[in-house]
């Protein structure tokens, strides 16, 4: 029986395991930012993102209520007390690398804080601010 060439074996391994890695890290913070800016049709504003993140919106909560005012440090869920890993990509490189998680948490958290889903512009603004944060 003829042995497979090493490069053919490598391609076969990539084909088998690609679906697994695509789910684990299928995007980047920069790619998410680019996508949301394109959807919004405008450039993101880190200043608007900071205001959105730190301000209370008609209720008792802001994003900072759980994530902390310094998104480079761990936060703490306002009602459960559960520790939340840092939100800023510079402090937590895994943030904003899984599209499904990003969509899930933005949907849930925007509904909790704003009582509605965030717009693409609001997501871009918050991410622009978060990506400017340094640990």
**Domain limits, the chain:** 50-135
Tokens of 17: 């395991």
Tokens of 41: 């049709």
Do 29 and 95 touch, CB atoms closer than 8 A?
Answer: yes
**What tens digit of pLDDT does each residue of 3-18 get?**
544 433 433 333 444 4
pTM for the model stands at 0.79
What confidence score (pLDDT) does residue 18 get?
40
What confidence score (pLDDT) does residue 21 get?
40
Is the model's pLDDT at 133 over the cut of 60?
yes
What confidence score (pLDDT) does residue 54 get?
94
Average pLDDT over residues 14-39: 72
Do 135 and 90 touch, CB atoms closer than 8 A?
Answer: yes
Do 119 and 40 touch, CB atoms closer than 8 A?
Answer: yes
CATH number of 50-135: 1.10.760.10
**What tens digit of pLDDT does each residue of 45-102 get?**
999 999 999 999 877 889 999 998 999 999 998 889 999 999 999 999 999 999 999 9
């Amino acid at each position: 029986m003829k042995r497979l060439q090493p490069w053919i074996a490598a391609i076969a391994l990539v084909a088998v395991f690609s679906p697994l890695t695509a789910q684990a890290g299928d995007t980047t913070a920069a790619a998410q930012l680019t996508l949301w800016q394109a959807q919004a049709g405008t450039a993101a504003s880190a200043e608007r993102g900071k205001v959105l993140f730190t301000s209370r919106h008609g209720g008792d909560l802001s994003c900072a209520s759980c994530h902390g005012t310094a998104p480079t440090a761990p936060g703490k869920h306002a009602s459960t007390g559960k520790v939340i890993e840092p939100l800023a990509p510079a402090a937590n490189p895994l943030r904003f690398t899984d599209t499904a998680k990003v969509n899930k948490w933005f949907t849930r958290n925007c509904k909790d804080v704003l009582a509605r889903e965030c717009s693409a512009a609001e997501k871009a603004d918050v991410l622009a601010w978060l990506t400017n944060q340094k640990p």
